[in-house]
Structure 1
Amino acid sequence: MSDSTVPGRGAAADAPSRNADGVELPPYRLAGLVAPAVDRAFAAGMLAGRDGCAELSSRYGGPAATGFLVDLRTRLATPGGTVSGPAFAAVTRYRDPVACQRALDKQVAYGMLQRLPDGGCCATDRGLAFLAELWQLHATVTAELWAGHDDRVGRLVTTLGRVLAYALLLAESDEPGAFAAMAPPHEPEGSPAGVVLLNRLGTLRYHRTDAHAAAWTAAGHTATSVTRLPPGPERLAIEQETDRRAADPYAVLTAEERLAMLADLAALPG
């Protein structure tokens, strides 16, 4: 499917960008503003579960046994879920590939992951048991972290659901990347809103990661060289291009909804 046949492709430029009060917030501008807000909320949720995750992980062999299960949980917890070799490379594009393969080998040796012929992986029964416990842990810690913000969490779950669904529709025409590998997030029936929000936030971050990779690739950089790029016009240009490439999914929201999303993310504790 080409870009021209995807409904809404390029709509970010034409989507209504002002709310009823005349506040302007076009999708490309929202993409730049929402990224740090998403990062903050996601990091807060993961940090809240750090101690419990360490204890849980220790029962399965420690970080050497469980690291990629945590990272890839929204895909590997899905029944029959797999992460292909190219998808694994996209998700880990900012890490040392040799070190990642060695870490993956260790987790296979611990019986948590199984290698696939293309270099990817899937969870073993033991890995799935770990993920089921991790889901319960994240449900508990997010309920505590965001207690008293039920309405806000509910609005964000709904809004992010629409954004992710639209991003997936648009991604059908794109090269496979980290977002396509990790979306949609696994959401078992009856999942509490807090854990759904945490995983939708994490999945949305991969969408921007792909946009950033496309931006620095177009600028002639590699994953290594772009991380060494000092502040200045070239880095700013890459960030602005990232915002442009990450903007399209937000066209599904009205200007009021974009502002409400930012306000709700800013108001979440953590």
Structure 2
Amino acid sequence: MSDSTVPARDAASDPPSRDAERIELPPHRFAGLVAPAIDRVFLAGMLAGRDGGAELSARYGGPAATGFLVDFRTRLATPGGTVSGPGFAALTRYRDPAACQRVLDKQVAYGMLQRLPDGGCCATDRGLAFLSELWQVHAGVTAELWAGHEDRVGRLVTALGRVLVYALVLTESDEPGAFAAMAPPHEPEGSPAGVLLLNRLGTLRYHRADAHAAAWTAAGHTATSIAALPPGPERLAIEQETDRRAADPYAVLTAEERLAMLADLAALPG
């Protein structure tokens, strides 16, 4: 990550400022508030690239050839980047494993992905060419979508960089989760701010996904049963536990910075 040189700082170890004391926005509460804001902005960016991405995908064989490349782009575009077998399982935890293997088989047959001995995958040269073009699509659409909001985008890129670096510090290197499989995102030199924002948001969503999976597993659920669980006290308890487990990386931000992040995300169109 281009912000990986920024030292991670645990705000909890610093003396709180008077402003921070007035803003009651602890990390666990912030995690619950920021998650839907992150989802909205990330999905808006991806949706903006749908038409250009579909046209690009069609030139390489369509969704049957490119689906996992798009999903795992920030890992597979990294030079030598791979998604391990355990990482693949975590990233697809809500999907039928056999169906995922069939999809992977098709993309291997199209020459876009290569299987690894542990069940994971990496991009072929053709797959890397597709991802290089996809970066250009995302650069164009995010610049248009967030035009006039360059200051907000810049602030969010910086803040998210710090959060992701701290999340990586807190994550075990051999942890078989979705976040460990995807972080840090691939950020080639010269990447425009809109692409950095889109991909940092997408990567951070995997951190919460792992927190959610840990919360519903602790509550005795499976991926199938949690998907069917209706709203109610049990669902609420799992969401609150998710917030608690997802909160730690946000401790690197002050309460004022958390509030600013919420405001900047809310102000972005999409």
Give the TM-score band, short-chain normalised: over 0.9
Distance 2:26 2:20 in 1: 14
Change (3 A) 1:12 1:85: farther
Mapped pair 1:234 → 2:234: yes
Match of 2:95 in 1: 95
What letter corresponds to residue 138 of structure 2 in structure 1? H
Match of 2:3 in 1: none
- The TM-score with structure 1 as length reference comes to 0.93
What letter corresponds to residue 245 of structure 1 in structure 2? R
What letter corresponds to residue 216 of structure 2 in structure 1? W
Match of 1:245 in 2: 245
Change (3 A) 1:109 1:91: same
3-state secondary structure, aligned to 2:114: strand
Q: What are the residue-to-residue correspondences of 1:17-36 with 2, within 5 Å? A: 19-20=19-20, 22-36=22-36
What letter corresponds to residue 249 of structure 1 in structure 2? P
Mapped pair 1:158 → 2:158: yes
Change (3 A) 1:18 1:228: farther
**1:96 offset after TM fit, Å?**
1.0
Query: Quick check: 1:27–1:250 contact (8 Å CA) kept in 2?
Result: yes
Q: Deviation digits for residues 57-115 of structure 1, max 9, x if unmatched?
A: 00000000000000000000000000001000000101111111100000000000000
**1:12 offset after TM fit, Å?**
6.6
Match of 1:60 in 2: 60
Query: Quick check: 2:173–2:180 contact (8 Å CA) kept in 1?
Result: no
CA RMSD of the aligned region, Å? 1.9
Structure 1, gaps ≥5 residues long:
1-6
What letter corresponds to residue 260 of structure 1 in structure 2? A
Distance 2:268 2:155 in 1: 12
Match of 2:128 in 1: 128
Q: How many residues align?
A: 263
Q: Report the identity percentage.
A: 87
Runs of 4+ in 1 over 2 A off after TM superposition: 11-21, 172-176
Mapped pair 1:225 → 2:244: no
Match of 1:4 in 2: none
Distance 2:121 2:174 in 1: 23
- The TM-score with structure 2 as length reference comes to 0.93
**1:174 offset after TM fit, Å?**
7.4
Change (3 A) 1:28 1:225: same
Match of 1:86 in 2: 86
Change (3 A) 1:30 1:196: same
Distance 1:76 1:137 in 2: 17
Distance 1:12 1:32 in 2: 19
Change (3 A) 1:20 1:170: closer
Distance 1:149 1:252 in 2: 24
Change (3 A) 1:106 1:144: same
What letter corresponds to residue 269 of structure 2 in structure 1? P
Distance 2:117 2:130 in 1: 24
Match of 1:192 in 2: 192
What letter corresponds to residue 90 of structure 2 in structure 1? A
Distance 1:229 1:17 in 2: 42
Structure 2, gaps ≥5 residues long:
1-7
Change (3 A) 1:15 1:261: farther
Query: Quick check: 2:69–2:76 contact (8 Å CA) kept in 1?
Result: yes
Distance 1:125 1:209 in 2: 30
Q: What are the residue-to-residue correspondences of 1:249-264 with 2, within 5 Å? A: 249-264=249-264
Q: Deviation digits for residues 228-260 of structure 1, max 9, x if unmatched?
A: 001111000000000000000000000100000
3-state secondary structure, aligned to 1:95: coil
Query: Quick check: 1:12–1:250 contact (8 Å CA) kept in 2?
Result: no
Of stretches 167-176 and 139-148 in structure 1, the one that deviates more from structure 2 is 167-176
Of stretches 146-155 and 13-22 in structure 1, the one that deviates more from structure 2 is 13-22
Query: Quick check: 1:171–1:180 contact (8 Å CA) kept in 2?
Result: yes
Q: Deviation digits for residues 19-70 of structure 1, max 9, x if unmatched?
A: 3571210000000000000000000000000000000000000000000000
Q: Deviation digits for residues 184-210 of structure 1, max 9, x if unmatched?
A: 000000000000100000000000000
